[in-house]
Amino acid sequence: MPIKIEENIWIEMSDGCKLAARIWMPEDAEINPVPAILEYIPYRKRDGTRERDEPMHGYFAKQGYVAIRVDMRGSGDSDGIMRDEYLPQEQIDALEVIAWIANQDWCSGNVGMMGKSWGGFNCLQVAALQPPALKAILPVCFTDNRFTDDVHYMGGCLLNDNLWWGSIMMAFQSRAIDPEIIGDDWRRRWHERLEQLPHFQHLWLEHQTYDDFWKHGSICEDYSAVKVPVLAISGWADSYTNAVFRVLEKLSGPRLAIVGPWAHIYPHDGIPTPAIGFLQEAVRFWDHFLKGHETGIMDEPMLRAYVEAPHKPTGTRHEASGRWVSEARWPSASIAKCDFYLSACGNLADRPQETCELSIRSPMSTGKSAGDWMGAGCDGDRPGDQRVDDAGSLVFDSAIIAEDFEVLGAPDLQLTLASDSPVAQICVRLNDVHPDGSVSRVSYQLMNLTHRNGHQAPQSLNIGKFEDTTIKLNDCGHLFKKGHRIRISISTSYWPIAWPAPYHATLTLRGGISKLSLPVRRIDTKDDEVSFSPPIHGVSTPQTMIEDGFLSRRATQDLITGDTSYVADGKGGVFGEGIFRFDDIDTLVDHSLTREMLINDHDPLSAQGRIVQSFTLGREGWMTRIDLTTNMTCDAENFYLEAKLEAFEDEKLICHREWKDTVLRYLM
Looking at the chain, the number of H-run helices and the number of E-run strands are 11, 34
Cα distance between residue 394 and residue 346, in whole Å: 8
Are 290 and 301 in contact by the 8 Å Cβ rule? The answer is: no
- Residue 525: pLDDT band by 50, 70, 90 thresholds? confident
Is the pLDDT reported for residue 226 higher than 90? yes
Through-space distance between the first and last CA atoms of the chain, rounded to whole angstroms: 56
The fold of 335-523 is: Jelly Rolls (2.60.120)
Residue 439: C-alpha distances to residues 312, 373, 388 (Å): 8, 18, 9
Chain segment 439-485, per-residue pLDDT in tens:
999 999 999 999 999 999 999 999 999 999 999 999 999 999 999 99
pLDDT of 575 > 80? The answer is no
Contacts with 665 (C-beta within 8 Å, 6 or more apart), sequence order: 208, 502, 634, 636, 637, 638, 639
Domain 3-147+225-327: give its CATH superfamily. Answer: Alpha/Beta hydrolase fold, catalytic domain (3.40.50.1820)
For 601-618, write each residue's pLDDT tens digit: 999 999 999 999 999 999
Q: What is the DSSP string of 456-472?
A: SS-----TT--EEEEEE
Confidence of residue 570 (pLDDT cuts 50, 70, 90): confident
Alpha-carbon dihedral angle through residues 293, 275, 244, 485, given to the nearest 10 degrees: 140
DSSP assignment of 134-150 equals EEEEEEES--S-TTTSS
**Domain residue ranges in the chain:** 3-147+225-327, 335-523, 543-664
Answer whether residue 574 shows pLDDT above 90: no
Rounded mean pLDDT of the chain? 97
3-state helix, strand, coil in the chain (%, to 5): 20, 40, 40
Tens of pLDDT, residues 120-138? 999 999 999 999 999 999 9
Q: What is the pTM of this model?
A: 0.97
Predicted local confidence at residue 640, as pLDDT: 99
